[in-house]
Every structure is written in structure tokens, then in C-alpha cells.
Amino acid sequence: MNRSNKKRYCWIIRIFSLLIMFSLSGCSNKKENEAERPTSNYDSESDIQKKSELNDESEGGYRYSDAVNIKGNIDGMIGFMNNGKKLVYWSGNQINMFDLETSDIKEGFSFNNKSIMSVKLLCEEESCFYLYVVAGQREEMDTDVDGLEVSSSSCGTEDYKILCFDYELHQIENYDLDELWSEQLSDIHYESICMSKDASTIYVYADNALYSYKPNFQKLVTAYDFSEKKKTDISMKQMEVSTDKKRVAFVGCELDQDKYLLYGIIDLENKEITTKQTENAYGSNLHIQGDTAYITDSEIPREYKASGMIHCIDLTNKKITDFTVDNLESTNAYLSSNGKYLITGYNTVAEDGTIHGYCIGVYDFKTGELIEKGKNTVDGRLYGLCATDKFALQLVTKDRCGSIYHSELRSERTK
């Protein structure tokens, strides 16, 4: 890839601002008021038990543990790993891991003379996990009145890497994506990269086509050609692949309009694409749990509203449905590890515009029923969620410092 093409990444929005770049993206003029709820794809139970006692002081009956504080700065959350035992995050130019059981911090891979700009968890296996990391030169960081942190980078080149670590943060693999593909591909959309759950195949959107790459065989193959199918007006922004590697869920846009959010499924076996547009989406972010992909949005700054709709894509049967939540709950949602619960969260705002705690909601993902809801009045901003079938974890940050709260789900408390 020509280095000059990378200047599009000069301004990189961190955290929630990354979502706001697409804030005016919406979707079709059709609106489903009553949508069939997606079914769960998992039945396994988590083996994690929380040792600390829970605090009964939260509003709404939902109980939170005392805070577990993390020493040092947090610039970005990558995710809770290893069945909720480890938090992986980055600080400056380094990837770190916090052990929730021992409170130990392990320092891992670091970039020389560059700061980490964004990280995506590609896949998590029993013994290791893969990350997609973008690093560049950062000039400054600002925090506006809403607590949204915005960082900028110089117009120099960025590094694009796929890194593999074990759960002690020892590095196992290191792929430089420019070295892998620069001679074969030109217009690479690095933001759209994803990986199969067995880590055997990397997928990338480039040159108006979807490519698959097998690192063990160093083989790049065209998986779906948009030009050949006369779909040149579609651009892919994010994507996730099914367990069997036969279907890809994606979020993108149509090049001739910027009003609607476009998302759908690519059937790699039959070379077919299913698309849907939806209105009233304030930006989008694609997630996956098992074979259920789902799309969350971001609030419009200072208006404190969102679509209240989570768009769900079942990659086993290619069904696309909508899951309705309460307004800002659609800005931060996490499907539990067994697919049974949808955990939502949003920051609460005081009259003076400052963040004043957060609310958590727990939904039955199959029926759409709200099971419980509660507020945690803490000094900080809800930054990330994780959920199993038994508990939820929340990362709260203030001034780049982090605290973790644990809460058991009602089904566990009533046993």
C-alpha cells in the first residue's frame, strides 16, 4: 500500500468519539415495531465465581461490588479475557494486562516512538488471544465537557499489526500487515479487518473486494468481489465472520448517500449479499458473540439520546432483527458469553452536564424482557462492559485511572 494513502488516518477519534464519526448514519425508511428476538447460540456456563461481597446500596436493587482499582493510566480498553479473569488494555505505547484475582499488572508489547491509537480483539482461544493494533504519532489529547476524549495523530505513517498473546501476556505471533499485503493489495481498508474464531484466517476489505488470508499458508484469496457482483456502491467499515467461516456480518455505507446505516450478511459459499438500511442510527459499532453479531450506536454529544435499537444478525440462519432497549442503552451493550443475556449500560448526566454514575440493564436476549436495572452512583465514566451467564463486569474511568465493579445477575443471587 502506498504510504500516502494512509493520510486518511491522520485524525483518529478515540473511545466513544470513534463511533460519533458515523453519527449521521442511519438506515432504511422501513421501521420494524415488533421484531422477532434472536435466539441464544450457547448453553455453556461460566466457571467464574466472585469472592468479594456485594454492595446493596445501588438504586433499583441491582448490586455492585466495591471498586477494584487499577494502578497507572488507561488509554483504551481492549476487553475482559479468560472468562472475566483478566482485563487487557493499553496505556501510551504499551499493552497491559490486569489480573482481577491478584491485582497484578503485566506489561506486554510496546511500540517504539509511537502511541497505540486503536485496538480490536480479533479472537479469543483457550490458550491465547489475537489483537489488531494500530499505532501512530499522537500530538495531543483533549477532554470535552461530556467527558469524551479526543486524540490526534500526525500525518506520518501508521503501523498495522496482528499480535497474539497467551494469558500471561507473552507474545506468540506478530504479523505486520503492510509486509503481508502491500505488494498484492492497494486500497486497503484497515479498519474492516476481522479473524476467524480458530485464528486460521484473516479477512480484509480492499480494492472493492473481500479477501481471506491464511497465515500458515501465506495465501491471499478473493472471497467476495463487489465489482463482479455489481455492488461497487457499497463500502465495508467493519465485519465479523461466522464460526464455520461461511458468512460475514458487516457494517458499511453506500457511497452515493450518507443518511442511512447499511449493514448485512455476505454468504461466502453462494456468493450472495443481503443488505439492510435503518434510520435513526447515531453511528455504529459491530460486535460478535458466538454466531450472533450485533450493532450498537453512540449518543449525540450534549443531546443525550440514541436510537434505542440494537440491530442483531444471526449468522447461523441469516436472520436480521432489531432488539429494542431504552434510549441510551443502545450505546453500550454486551451479549453474555452464553448468549442468554444482553447487558446494557449508559452514563448518567447531572444538571451541570457532568457524568454522575451509570445505569446497567439486564435483558433476556431471547424474549426481550427487561430482567433488572440499577444505577451505580460513582465518580467516573462507564468505559466498558463484559458479561457471562452469572455476572457482569464494568470498567469505570476518570482522569485515565480505572476501577472495576462486579455485579451478580439476579438468577445467581436467588440461588
Fold type of domain 3-29+38-413: Methylamine Dehydrogenase; Chain H (2.130.10)
Residue 328, phi then psi, degrees to nearest 5: -65, -10
315 neighbors 242 (Cβ within 8 angstroms): yes
Residue 411 has pLDDT above 80, yes or no: no
Residue 31 has pLDDT above 80, yes or no: no
Residue 151 has pLDDT above 80, yes or no: no
Structure confidence at residue 51 (pLDDT) = 27
Confidence of residue 187 (pLDDT cuts 50, 70, 90): confident
CA angle 272, 273, 278 (to 5 degrees): 160
Structure confidence at residue 300 (pLDDT) = 64
As a whole number of angstroms, the distance between CA 190 and CA 183 comes to 15
As a whole number of angstroms, the distance between CA 208 and CA 198 comes to 26
Q: What is the grid cell recorded at 178?
A: 503492510
Residue 80 has pLDDT above 80, yes or no: yes
Percent of the chain, pLDDT > 90? Answer: 52
Name the strand (E) or helix (H) holding 270.
none
Query: What does the pLDDT look like over 213-268, one tens digit per residue?
Result: 999 888 899 999 998 877 878 888 899 999 999 999 999 888 776 667 889 999 99
Confidence of residue 130 (pLDDT cuts 50, 70, 90): very high
Residue 37 has pLDDT above 70, yes or no: no
As a whole number of angstroms, the distance between CA 77 and CA 385 comes to 10
Residue 6 has pLDDT above 50, yes or no: no
80 neighbors 386 (Cβ within 8 angstroms): yes
Structure confidence at residue 9 (pLDDT) = 40
Structure confidence at residue 55 (pLDDT) = 40
DSSP assigned state of 60: T
Please tell me which residue, 146 or 288, carries the higher pLDDT value. 288
Percent of the chain, pLDDT > 70? Answer: 76
pTM (predicted TM-score): 0.80
Mean pLDDT of 341-350: 91
- Mean pLDDT lowest for which of 151-165, 205-219, 397-411? 151-165
Give me the chain's average pLDDT, please.
80
Q: What is the grid cell recorded at 115?
A: 502511541
Residue 39 has pLDDT above 50, yes or no: no
Structure confidence at residue 258 (pLDDT) = 64
Mean pLDDT of 108-122: 92
Q: What is the grid cell recorded at 143?
A: 477532554
293 neighbors 287 (Cβ within 8 angstroms): yes
Mean pLDDT of 354-360: 88
308 neighbors 27 (Cβ within 8 angstroms): no
Residue 89 has pLDDT above 50, yes or no: yes
Mean pLDDT of 173-183: 90
Mean pLDDT of 187-215: 94
Please tell me which residue, 192 or 302, carries the higher pLDDT value. 192
> Which has the closest alpha carbon to 10: 194, 121, 149, 134?
134
